[in-house]
Structure formats: C-alpha cells, structure tokens
Amino acid sequence: MTYAPQYKDQVYAITVGSETLYRGNFTGPELLTKINNIKGSLPGFKVGTADSWNKFQDGSADALITGGVDILLCNGFSYWQGQTDANATASFFDDVMQAFGHIQSVSGKVEGGVELWVGETGE
C-alpha cells in the first residue's frame, strides 16, 4: 500500500486472489470483501481477481460482478476439459464466451461494465 501509488502509471490493475473460487477458499461475497478492502486502500486502481472461466459462468462470481469489481481474469485450459488439440481453440473460445455472456447478463451491461481478460490458457 505504501509503494503502489508511485507506480500508478505503470500498473493497469491489481488482482486479489487466484482461483480462490475454484478451489473453494472463498465464496463470492467473501472475496468481494477482500477486493473492496484493496479498492478502498488503493483508490484509482482497477481491482479484480483471476479464476477459472466456469466460476464466472456458473454464478459463483455474481457477487463480484454486481459488487463493483473492475476486472476479471479468466483462466481456461482445454486440456483439463478433455479436449483434443484439434478442438482446443473452439473449446476455449466457447468457454470465454459463456463466461462473458453471464457477466453481461448479471451486470446488465454490454459495454462499460466489468472488463474480462484472459488470464491463463493453453492446451
């Protein structure tokens, strides 16, 4: 918290946790509390989390979506879903679009809402 403000022009966003919903470390409301604590301590920074794409699609992250996160990093690996190399790209695209569609539906925004970025991917 002491040093972050001096790097404001170099840091795009801050993530709190990584796959904590997927692993069951926190519920959506619990994680939102932690995210909002960071947002309150570091005003002017975009703050969110990174998690498996399905946690943004299945309702686990709805509290984050409606509670004010700025950015979500979506992790998706076709290998863990039993996909072949030939279907890896299509599978990943479908997964991300499912997550994004749910985020848009819950937020009620097509533009200007929560940013969704790819955090991790691979075959």
Q: Residue 48 carries which side chain, given as an amino acid letter?
A: G
Q: Exposure string (b/e) for 70-98, b if CB count within 10 Å is 16 or more?
A: ebbbbbbbbeeeebeeeebeebbebbbeb
Closest CA to 45 of 15, 2, 75: 15
Would you name the residues annotated as active-site residues? 19, 120
Q: Which helix (H) or strand (E) holds 31?
A: helix 28-41
Looking from the CA of 48 toward its CB, the CA atoms found within 13 Å total: 24
